[in-house]
Structure 1
Amino acid sequence: MSIKLKHVWQKPGSSLLYFRRRVPDDIRPLLVAARSPHAGKSHIVVSLQTSDPRIAAPLISKLVKQTSEEWEQLRNPTRGDVRTQARQLLLQHGVDPSDPKGTPEALDYFHDYLDDQLPQSVREDENIRHGHQLDRHLSPAHRAALQLTQDRREFTLADCLDQYIAARPNGEKTARIAFGYLTGFLGADRDIRKVRRSDVNGFVSWLLTGGHNAEGQAIATTTVSRYLNALKAAFGRAIRENELGIESVFARVEIPEAGKDAKERLPFTADQLLALHRGVDAWVATKGWDPLRCIVVVLAETGCRLAEVAGLAAADIHLHAGVPHIDVKPHPWRSLKTSASTRKVPLTPRAMVALKEAHKLANGSPLAFPGYTTLEACAAGAVSAALNKWIGGREGLKASGLTNHCLRHTIKDLLRAVQCPSEISDQILGHVTPGVGAGYGQGYPLDMRAEWLTRALPLP
């Protein structure tokens, strides 16, 4: 039997096989910009640690796939990759990216280097002289580096968002919404250095008057404030990390009538909470348990946030522990609001029943509610909309304006009513307890938290 292998090589006098692949001409300068260990080499050579072609064959196939993917990424980098590679190119040639003209000799040398990256026909064309005429003949990283040296490199709103999300993944959801509205108002290609204070004020007015949607539905001032905070953080980070030398136009933005349109989040009364449970019981009696009814019961019995429950993993649920509880902790598909949100929450008997039924419905999934959560994302918004509609249709709750989030406020009030210590209440609900001493120790035992929660909840 014979095996024919491509990209294989043997050193003279050695039985070991090596993977050897030529680096394409257009990739060589990109490897330098990316600080690759293969920079400056004409071939990639990797020992396969075997002399058996049958063992070498799958290893070579894997390395071919890997190098091809790396080269394709270099040819089509993300905006963030381009910025990083451009700055690295300048630094490697002794040019300060924040002040290219401060090192004139190094800058001249770098421009000579860029000339070598151009096709010969372009170098010989006397009609092509200006930087913008050369852009289309250079790789993305080399083009961005040239633009930096000529103060032509733009930093767009899209760049700003990408950089912010890369550094602050927990803020991605709000940042994407905020930038989605901003780019709808200004355009994604707007350089952040060209955004003016008048643009920001116009943007705020646009949101408050409903100009962002066809129905003309305004956004509440509290929500606008949350979006502005995300934009302020993203702009501030971009200005600082990229040394743009400008002031953030999102600093100290005033929102007309701020807070005056806020609607008070009312809690359920004891009778309304019992009406909710009667609604669940009636539904289960006729239609059986389903994920939404399981979720709303857990919300009503624990005071957890909706995403904390909908995004539970099966392994987060401990029904047979000494004190039955759920572990609320961050997951790749669902982050938590604050560090204090990571906690163990005791379960009441009613909550345990709901989670047992949810386990049956999940049918072996690693997620507690696979109908609403995947390993990539948690659709808490869809759950909220469905639950709020259902709650508003129950007998004793119609026209109440109560939502699923009101259940969290309800638990807080019920704990207050039985004079539960504030620190225990905070540990149940995942609130930050003020004061230096609150950060010491492990907090109150789980059984004590369970005792206070049981005492607070009204009997069925």
Structure 2
Amino acid sequence: MPLLRLTSIVSVKLKYARPKKGSSLLFFYRRVPDDIKPLLPAGSKYAAKTHYVVSLQTSDPKVAAPRIEKLLKQTTEEWEYLRNPTRAGVRRQAQQLLQRVGFDPMYPEETEEGALWAFEDYLEDQLPQSVREDRTIQHGHQLDRHLSPVHREALQVLQGRRGFTLTDCLDQYVAARPSTDKDARLVFGYLREFLGKDRDIRKVKRQDVNGFVEWLLAGKHSEDGKSISTTTVHRYLNTLRAAFSRAIRENELGLDNVFAAVEIRGKGKDAQQRHPFTVDQLKALHAAVGTWVAVRGWDQLRCIVTVLAETGCRLAEVVGLATADIHLHAATPYIDLKDHPWRSIKATGSSTVSTRKVPLTPRAIAALQAAHKLAQGSAFAFPQYTSEDACKSNSASAALNKWVKAQEGLQGAGLTCHGLRHTMKDLLRAAGCPSDIQDRILGHATPGVGATYGRGHPLEMLADWLAKATAPLATEGTARV
């Protein structure tokens, strides 16, 4: 550890820092641990090095210190990951080890015999001395428990004992699409439960898929035996189809996707119709919000339901708003709906658009002003339900639906928050709003190529039509902040 001179009388020793000959700059200098060298992928910045050296771009120890701390944290985390990787990481590192000797699991016969022997010798060197000397241990599966996860994986692949399991498929899919983590793990959990084990995906047959569908429809996945709708089954199958498709493509498995074009008995016939609110029911909803606010003050749920009723937005679009998405002081106040890491706007498709700006009515403005105060400086408009990790719109939906169904004038009507979106469609129609403007407000894609030309409708025009659509409700007043 070199002595770095700060002044003529003060010097310091700065760990992991060294000056370089012929330069006044300091360099981060850390030894690469021997145990991770065999685990390093080809092309790694640590590969074939005894020390990892990075310029700190300064000669001032006080400036260098925080940069050293950052690099120290980074290298420690990366090396620890190599030592204790995730399941997907284990598989990836094992494949990298095998690739170094030219072994391709898809074409094992093309690997040179000498290279295989050399690699087997290398794996043997990873075993404890007592195991190497034990002549009773002869088979690959007997060696597995004595090897590290990465070396065990490599041995299993080398000996043709390692397939591509449902868990591998899930991990690879979630790694590529982190937003699907919760839903994908739920569906794969059901599939593993049905199959009875973590099966190689190459051994999942079409009859298994058909049996899985019937198992779900019969409610056998649930402790209380409650069946699920055909729409939910369809959504589960879409997740599995996408995950299998990715696994087959990225790993060159050469399989047909057994989850493609699966038939679901009675699909759509059990779908429950979404009931829109009548004008009187919508007035009752606003009156219930007004009563709540007068007695208890605003809370996040009452803010959310008011914005839903006044904009026709999807629940997740409102719940997942960032504070920066809300523009209350613009000439025409609006919310800017766009993708975020914690919540993506419904993907572009045959009937949806991804991003849009929706103007705000006086009621919606009052609710969002109250939400701003409740958020207390948070980056999220509704921090009770949204964080950097997730948007808990389902939790908000469950709480709101329970509350809505208990309000005077709404009881027994089977109304839900999603019905507010259908209600706004009815209000816009009744106001004579042109279809393309309805689509722009609600986030539906207008048919025809021409609809994609230009900048779209002016925000003021959208605001005028929203004002006309909600005019029948104006007599009920607006809850105050």
- Give the conservation status (yes or no) of the 8 Å contact 1:101–1:107: no
Match of 2:335 in 1: 326
The 5 Å alignment of 1:147-296 reads 147-186=156-195, 189-296=198-305
Q: CA 1:449 to 1:13, structure 2 compared with 1: closer, same or farther past 3 Å?
A: closer
- Is 1:456 the counterpart of 2:469? The answer is yes
The 5 Å alignment of 1:55-66 reads 60-66=68-74
Shift of 1:206: 2.1
Match of 1:139 in 2: 148
SS of the equivalent of 2:433 reads: coil
Shift of 1:337: 1.5
SS of the equivalent of 1:91 reads: helix
- Is 1:86 the counterpart of 2:103? The answer is no
Shift of 1:351: 1.0
Match of 2:325 among 287, 304, 316: 316
Aligned residues: 459
Shift of 1:308: 0.9
Which of 411-420 and 376-385 deviates more? 411-420
Read off the aligned partner of 2:49 and give its amino acid letter: K
Gaps of 5+ in 2: 1-9, 475-481
Which of 80-89 and 15-24 deviates more? 15-24
Shift of 1:77: 0.6
Shift of 1:328: 0.9
Shift of 1:435: 2.7
Shift of 1:439: 2.6
Shift of 1:236: 1.5
SS of the equivalent of 1:26 reads: helix
Shift of 1:2: 6.5
In 2, Cα distance between the equivalents of 1:275 and 1:319? 26
Runs of at least 4 residues off by over 6 Å: 10-16, 50-55
Match of 1:418 in 2: 431
Read off the aligned partner of 1:302 and give its amino acid letter: T
TM (normalized to structure 1)?
A: 0.90
Read off the aligned partner of 1:446 and give its amino acid letter: L
Match of 2:76 in 1: 68
Shift of 1:285: 2.2
- Give the conservation status (yes or no) of the 8 Å contact 2:333–2:360: yes
Gaps of 5+ in 1: none
Read off the aligned partner of 1:435 and give its amino acid letter: G
TM (normalized to structure 2)?
A: 0.87
Q: CA 1:13 to 1:235, structure 2 compared with 1: closer, same or farther past 3 Å?
A: closer
Match of 1:406 in 2: 419
Match of 1:372 among 385, 392, 416: 385
- Is 1:362 the counterpart of 2:370? The answer is no
Read off the aligned partner of 2:209 and give its amino acid letter: V
Match of 2:107 among 99, 104, 109: 99
Q: CA 1:269 to 1:141, structure 2 compared with 1: closer, same or farther past 3 Å?
A: same
Q: CA 1:172 to 1:17, structure 2 compared with 1: closer, same or farther past 3 Å?
A: closer
Match of 1:22 among 12, 26, 31: 31
Q: CA 1:51 to 1:437, structure 2 compared with 1: closer, same or farther past 3 Å?
A: closer
Match of 2:405 in 1: 392
Shift of 1:421: 2.4
- Is 1:36 the counterpart of 2:49? The answer is no
- Give the conservation status (yes or no) of the 8 Å contact 2:39–2:97: no
Shift of 1:405: 0.4
In 2, Cα distance between the equivalents of 1:11 and 1:338? 53
In 2, Cα distance between the equivalents of 1:369 and 1:77? 35
Q: CA 1:8 to 1:188, structure 2 compared with 1: closer, same or farther past 3 Å?
A: farther
Superposition RMSD in Å: 2.7
Counting aligned pairs with the same residue, the percent is 68
Which of 39-48 and 305-314 deviates more? 39-48
Shift of 1:107: 3.8
Which of 264-273 and 413-422 deviates more? 413-422
Read off the aligned partner of 2:451 and give its amino acid letter: A
- Give the conservation status (yes or no) of the 8 Å contact 1:221–1:257: yes
Q: CA 1:146 to 1:440, structure 2 compared with 1: closer, same or farther past 3 Å?
A: farther
After superposition, the C-alpha distances for 1:64-112 in whole angstroms (9 at most, x for unaligned) are 4433322211111112222222222333322324212223344445444
- Give the conservation status (yes or no) of the 8 Å contact 1:118–1:137: yes
In 2, Cα distance between the equivalents of 1:365 and 1:267? 33
- Give the conservation status (yes or no) of the 8 Å contact 1:157–1:190: yes
